[in-house]
Amino acid sequence: MKISEILAQDKPTISFEVFPPKQASGLETVKAAAGAIAALTPSFMSVTYGAAGSTSKLTVEVASDIKNLHGVSVMPHLTCVASTREHVSDILTQIRENGIDNVMALRGDIPQDGIVCHDYTHASDLVADIRSQAPDICIGGACYPEGHIESPNKNLDIDYLKLKVDAGCDFLTTQMFFDNNIFYNFLYRIKDKGITVPVLPGVMPVTTARQLSRSVALSGTNVPERFRAIVDKFGSDPDAMRRAGIIYASEQIIDLIANGVNHIHVYSMNKPDVAGEILTNLKEILG
Ligand code: FAD
């Protein structure tokens, strides 16, 4: 099923994300985790794409399992900065051959060695290319309520986001954030610039102090005092930190739904237990 059709439903939905293994030897473990998350019957699942496309085939393989073995709608990610048009076309063919109706089109991070392939410069180039090759596919794009880390300012970032949406995005998913007010403010600002596609907030349950420092270093996400205090207090106690992180993410989701945001994407990081506990916390809220 296309994610645009899922988002057209007037009821709250929760989707989960998994990432592929770095090597084929880890495939069965990831497939087992993805299967356990699929058994929770989320509205859809997404599968990330390894940096520089290193694990592109594994992304499609895990995504195919989620859809064709477990019956859950799926969205593989696809990055372009280090890819040729031929490679993108090949992956897109694999996605279609597996009966998958969705793809998340991304630029990807610039590789540390700085080596890029010049077939695509921005995600908007990839969106346009996918749209021309597969007019019917549902395309998601990334957005950044706090501004993309390379962007000189948030207004310019939103101007470029508008170009990406106009190239053919059906919906957007945000980078994680820990302060919902930043997301609400972002929604006003993009609406003002004429971006009207659905925007899924991306919520990350942080279950270890290390996960927080790594994610924040990569994304530049602001950590509010309230969450910082939780990590300071419980970061050295794994069970307490895990519980506090799940409760914090659940509270973020409850606040989003209470404020009329119906569709939420959870960065569940191959952790079926964490995904399951979040759903348990939301049981009566999701109905
Ligand atoms: P773009 O939309 O191209 O934006 C990148 C930068 O370029 C921004 O600063 C933007 O303002 C600027 N820009 C855009 N268009 C123009 C233009 N026309 N002229 C000048 N500047 C412009 N990474 C992975 O490797 N694999 C994944 O699976 C993955 N999944 C992700 C999912 C989500 C929801 C998010 C939020 C991020 C994900 N990422 C993933 C990370 C992403 O690849 C990086 O954040 C990357 O640096 C930017 O990708 P983008 O698609 O947002 O790029």
Q: Is the CB of 123 under 6 A from ligand 1?
A: yes
pLDDT at 51 over 90: no
Going by alpha carbons, the residue nearest to atom 47 of ligand 1 is 109
* Cα(153) to centroid(ligand 1), Å: 15
> What's the token pair of residue 156?
């310019």
The pLDDT tens digits of the residues spanning 35-48 come to: 999 999 999 999 99
Q: Is the dihedral of CA 3, 5, 7, 9 positive or negative?
A: negative
CA of 218 to the centre of ligand 1 (A): 13
Q: Is 28 in the active site?
A: no
Long-range pairs for 252-260 at CB < 8 Å and ≥24 separation?
Answer: 252/178, 252/180, 252/203, 253/14, 253/203, 253/278, 253/282, 254/282, 254/285, 255/180, 256/180, 256/183, 256/201, 256/203, 257/12, 257/285, 259/180, 259/184
Of the candidates 17, 61, 146, 277, the residue annotated as catalytic is: 17
The domain segmentation of the chain, as residue ranges, is 12-286
Structure tokens at 255: 């606040």
Residue with the smallest CA separation from ligand 1 atom 37 is 142
- State the architecture of 12-286 in CATH terms: Alpha-Beta Barrel (3.20)
Rounded to the nearest angstrom, the distance between the alpha carbon of 190 and the centre of ligand 1 is: 17
Residue 101 pLDDT: 98
Query: What is the tens place of the pLDDT at every residue in 211-270?
Result: 999 999 888 899 999 999 999 999 999 999 999 999 999 999 999 999 999 999 999 999
